[in-house]
């Protein structure tokens, strides 16, 4: 989270929305329990900088996962509110 905070604090950027892509191990099956907490912390961090975090994608050499879709599969993917 510290690296994201540093990027957001750099200033000079006028982003209103963001998508995170993170090179990290992805497992099949349910989302690991710590991912929901990380998602909420990241959304709060981005919101504090007036940026809407649309999704956090985790990917490795084999798998690719949307955190948002894993947490709320029945919701619309693209929301601004």
* CA pair distance 66, 56, nearest whole angstrom: 6
Closest CA relative to residue 26, chosen from 53, 58, 52, 49: 58
Instruction: Give the pLDDT of the chain (81 residues) as one tens digit per residue.
Output: 777 787 777 665 677 888 889 999 998 888 888 889 999 999 999 999 888 888 999 999 999 999 988 888 787 766 655
Scored b (16 or more CB within 10 A) or e, 3-33 reads ebeeebeeeeeeeeebebebeeebeeeebee
Q: What is the pLDDT of residue 57?
A: 93
pTM: 0.78
């Amino acid at each position: 989270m510290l690296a994201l905070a540093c990027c957001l604090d750099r200033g000079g950027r006028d982003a209103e929305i963001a998508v995170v892509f993170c090179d990290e191990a992805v497992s099949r099956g349910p989302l690991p329990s710590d991912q929901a907490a990380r998602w909420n912390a990241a959304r709060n961090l981005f919101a504090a900088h007036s940026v809407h975090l649309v999704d956090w994608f985790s990917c490795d050499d084999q798998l690719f996962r949307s955190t948002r879709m894993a947490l709320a599969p029945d919701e619309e993917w693209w929301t601004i509110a």
